[in-house]
Amino acid sequence: MNRNILLKDLSVKDYKETWDYQSELLQKIVDVKIDNRRNNHAKKTENYFLFVEHPHVYTLGKSGDLSNLLLNEQQLKEKEAAFYKINRGGDITYHGPGQIVGYPILDLENFFTDIHKYLRLLEETIILTIAEYGLKGERSNGETGVWLDVGTPFARKICAMGIRSSRWVTMHGFALNANTNLGYFDNIIPCGIRGKAVTSMEVELGEKVDVIEVKEKILKHFKTLFEVEEYIVS
């Protein structure tokens, strides 16, 4: 078992390029697993954690409804936003500047083989992170991600999540609204859920947050929850 994680901060990177890169890393891990099983090898598989910030983009999950995108092609161009149908779970979401996007590409056989547990620990990572800023993150029954004021008329989502896995290898991940322009969410029905608002750390705290600091806290809690041995910056 390999519980080290190769950590890469991609800074600002196009969504499609990042998606392709994730797919390459996932396939690299899967190929090792296939070879191990076919040839009775015991080569360790690698794990990755990517941080990235995307230019304006809307992505629709494989089970999503296109009608939840409220813009036509011309309006997307006017807003300088891209759109992709992708292979993660979930419906539609937005990525853009000021958002902390994390893509753990893990061989869960190095950790535990339980997708439900994986998602709950991802949520817990964010819940513990924002708690350090005095924000009480919660889960909303049947709605993956992290929310504030669940069960009230003021429920609002601060972190969206959607993943894909193949042979217990994960890709995609979470998008935490740190200093995000929430106006872009007005152009979609976020995650296909009507009547629920979206928020950010900046809105809740009344000031911009230090993104580098937030990332450090995310990694700290992720390391504890997933029992990571070591991060190797690459």
Residues 35-66: tens digit of each pLDDT: 999 999 999 999 999 999 999 999 998 888 89
Give tens-digit pLDDT for 78-89: 999 999 999 898
Domain that holds residue 218: 4-233
How many structural domains is the chain composed of?
Answer: 1
Q: How far, CA to CA in Å, does 103 sit from each of 19, 125, 127, 133, 138?
A: 10, 13, 17, 23, 21
The CA distance from 50 to 171, in Å, is 10
pLDDT per residue over 152-197, tens digit each? Answer: 999 999 999 999 999 999 999 999 999 999 999 999 886 556 667 9
Q: Which of 60, 81, 108, 191 is the catalytic position?
A: 191
Kindly indicate the confidence band of residue 34, based on its pLDDT and cuts at 50, 70 and 90: very high
Residue 48 to residue 21: CA distance in whole angstroms: 11
CATH (domain of 105): 3.30.930.10
Residue with tokens 């190769």: 6
Return the ∠ at Cα 11 (arms to 118 and 75), rounded to 5°.
90
Single-letter code of the amino acid located at 157: K
Our measurement of the distance from residue 135's CA atom to the centroid of its chain's CA atoms, rounded to an integer in Å, reads 19
Please, what is the average pLDDT of the chain?
Answer: 95
Q: What is the pLDDT of residue 194?
A: 63
Q: Can 159 be counted among the known catalytic residues?
A: no
Q: What is the pLDDT of residues 2-21, one digit of tens each?
A: 999 999 999 999 999 999 99
- The C-alpha atoms of residue 85 and residue 60 are separated, in whole angstroms, by 5
